[in-house]
Structure 1
Amino acid sequence: MTKTKYSEKEKSKEDPKEEMSFLEHLEELRWHLIRAFLAIVLFAILAFINKDFIFDTVIFNPKTADFWTNRMFAKLAELTGTDSLRINTTELQLISIKMADNFMTHVMTSIIAGLIVSSPYVFYEVWRFISPALYEKERRHSGGAVIYMSFLFITGVLFGYYLIVPLSIHFLGSYSISSEVINQINMRSYIGTVTSISLASGVIFELPIFVYFLSKIGILTPDLMKSYRRHAYVALLLLSAIITPPDVFSQIMVCIPLVFLYEIGIIISRRVNKKAEENLESI
């Protein structure tokens, strides 16, 4: 029997989606999205109910001197004798200037918290929709995709929350153009900074996953990533500048893990291409 890249036997014969029409695929996608949406809503409701924990312990904590990152920088300042390393030593005052600000902020923050907490299940639903289109061999090799995506996303969110957020609050909250101006930060502006930085970091940390799929469909190759490595580093530095306050230290702290993830992406792309070549040789 002549071998093909993947024999028909490698496909799951028990999968009914192989015979689905386009409209049936859309219907299946709709139910996956509905289940993911319900998971987000459920955790958003839990976050809404636990208002004190979400705001006092999570959202507002990075601006206090007792926050873990701020305490670590204070210890580093003591060891090096450099007081400039101390961050968020002065309490940042937040204000609310519109009647609906508190309620709307409560709702939006709960939704974002629900999205972050339910992200593993959301990835699982996305994977359940995509996986039937893969060959059995591809499913075996990418069976841990949900775990990898969830781990990278949560790691990125924690990285943004524990490192970039305190540095951003310190720089932007203490920056002043004149002694005539008193910094009274709008609550929605502060919370928007915390949530957007954390979410952006989570998405950026998915870089190896994007590289894997782009390599899988032949858009990326390890040679291409190596040849454009310098250009990629510049792009990553610009990306770091976008999601961090405009100081060199913060940009470097963000850029280092991004460069590391890019190098991991090269290894991933190399492995994907190697497997593709082995499959072609087996024809």
Structure 2
Amino acid sequence: MATENRQSFWDHLDVLRAAIVKIALVTVGFGMVAFFFKEQLFSVVLAPKSDGFITYRLFNRIAAWSGGLSESFSVRLINTGLAQQFIIHMKTALCAGVLCASPYILYQLFRFVSPALYENERRYVTRVVGGGYVMFGLGVLISYFLIFPLTFRFLGTYQVSGEVDNLITLDSYISTLVMMCLAMGLVFEIPMLSWLFAKLGFLSDGFMRRYRKHAVVIILVVAAIITPTSDVFTLSLVALPMWILYEVSILIVNKAAKNSEP
């Protein structure tokens, strides 16, 4: 602490620059690996478009167990730009690189700010960042395995007439997948932020219960904004987890308040 306090402003900038360079190198390294393993990368990215995806097979088994009928579907993606596939390949590889390097990115950022923190503050920051990272990852997984597949199957096979075929571009597919995963990752930070605000004394469970109806309206508005499509089906899929997380956050805030009492 004493050594760090004696560093000048430019010394801190040098430390930050070194951390940014390391982050960039690791991210680019993971991105290059993802770029060269194209088949494996896109087998994961494009998996939800096939009726053999694990989510569809699970729902088919549930339908068969309940005596219902399961329908197979097929959606073929198209490309409309000369260099579009190559550009999408690079963007997807870069996103995969950032995702794989995210633990290292958080580690480098924590190393940069930790010298300015006391020991108890370091433990507190570690809990907040670690919990936020886990919740963000959980939101991404739920979006990839549940929300996006159901949305894609509904919209990809929906037709106003048998004479109109769906021609879905690869760019539209990738953009929707990334946007929904990112949005759900951020949405799943609600319990963590609620806990943090409760610890800081800015939020109480009574306040959240009192304005529950207002929160539902805000959830619907936010879901409509972050939803890449304008259909009610996708809106409901996004709004429902947000409402559940809000109710869970009330319990978390209540517990945090009780633990803070002397």
Shorter chain as normaliser: what TM range? 0.7 to 0.9
Name the counterpart of 1:62.
48
Return the match for 2:94 from 91, 95, 111. 111
Give the match for residue 4 of structure 1. Answer: none
Question: Structure 1 residues 218, 26: closer, same or farther in 2, change over 3 A?
Answer: farther
Deviations 1:115-135 (A, max 9, x none): 222222222233333444433
Answer yes or no: is the 8 Å Cα contact 1:173–1:183 preserved in 2.
yes
Of residues 34-43 and 190-199 in structure 1, the stretch that sits farther from structure 2 once superposed is 34-43
Asked whether the 8 Å contact 2:159–2:166 carries over to 1, the reply is yes
The equivalent of 2:121 in structure 1 is 138
Does the alignment pair 1:40 with 2:23?
no
Residues 58-137 of structure 1: matches in 2 within 5 Å? Answer: 58-83=44-69, 86=70, 89-137=72-120
- Aligned partner of 1:265 in structure 2 is 249
Deviations 1:80-121 (A, max 9, x none): 3344xx47x221111111110111000001111112222222
Sort the Cα spacing of 1:126 and 1:259 in 2 relative to 1 into closer, same or farther, 3 A: farther
**Structure 1 pair 134/268, CA: closer, same or farther in 2 (3 Å)?**
farther
Please report the RMSD computed on the Cα atoms of aligned residues, expressed in angstroms. Answer: 2.9
Superposition pairs for residues 222-237 of structure 1, below 5 Å? 222-237=205-220
Cα–Cα, structure 1 residues 215 and 117, in superposed 2: closer, same or farther, change >3 Å? same
Taking structure 1 as reference, are residues 258 and 124 closer, same or farther at Cα in structure 2, changes over 3 Å only? farther
Distance 2:199 2:20 in 1: 25
Q: What is the CA deviation profile of residues 207-233 of structure 1, one whole-angstrom value per residue up to 9, with x for unaligned ones? A: 233334444555434333332222223
The verdict on how the C-alpha distance between 1:229 and 1:96 changes in structure 2, with shifts beyond 3 A counting, is same
1:9 counterpart residue number: none
Q: How many residues align?
A: 261
Cα distance change, pair 261–138 in 1 and its aligned pair in 2 (3 A):
farther
Q: Which residue of 2 aligns with 1:194?
A: 177
Instruction: Tell me if structure 1 keeps the 8 A contact 2:151–2:233.
Output: no
SS of structure 2 residue aligned to 1:118: helix
| 1:183 counterpart SS class | coil
Give the superposition deviation at 1:66. 0.8
1:212-223 equivalence runs, <5 A = 212-223=195-206
Q: Structure 2 vs 1, CA of residues 125 and 258 (structure 1 numbering), >3 Å: closer, same or farther?
A: farther
Shift of 1:150: 2.6
CA shift, 1:71, in A, is 0.5
* Deviating 4+ runs (over 6 angstroms): none
Q: 1:127 to 1:237 in 2, by over 3 A?
A: farther
Q: Is the 8 A contact 2:156 2:168 kept in 1?
A: yes
Q: Secondary structure at the match of 2:162?
A: coil
Q: Percent identity?
A: 38
CA gap of 1:178–1:19, structure 2 versus 1, over 3 A, is farther
Structure 2 match to 1:3 = none
Change (3 A) 1:244 1:101: closer
Q: Give the structure-1-normalised TM-score.
A: 0.78
Structure 1 residue 54: Cα displacement: 0.9
Structure 2 counterpart SS, 1:97: coil
Q: How far apart are residue 250 of structure 1 and its match?
A: 5.1
Matches of 2:91 and 2:124 in 1, distance apart?
A: 38
Instruction: Note if contact 1:208-1:268 (Cα within 8 Å) is conserved in structure 2.
Output: yes
Query: Once the 2 structures are TM-superposed, how far is the Cα of residue 261 of structure 1 from its aligned partner?
Result: 2.7
State the TM-score, normalized to the length of structure 2: 0.83
The 1:223–1:23 alpha-carbon spacing in structure 2 relative to 1, beyond 3 Å, is: farther
Letter of the structure 2 residue corresponding to residue 262 of structure 1: Y
For residues 67 and 60 of structure 2, the distance between their equivalents in structure 1, rounded to whole angstroms, comes to 10
Partner residue of 1:182? 165
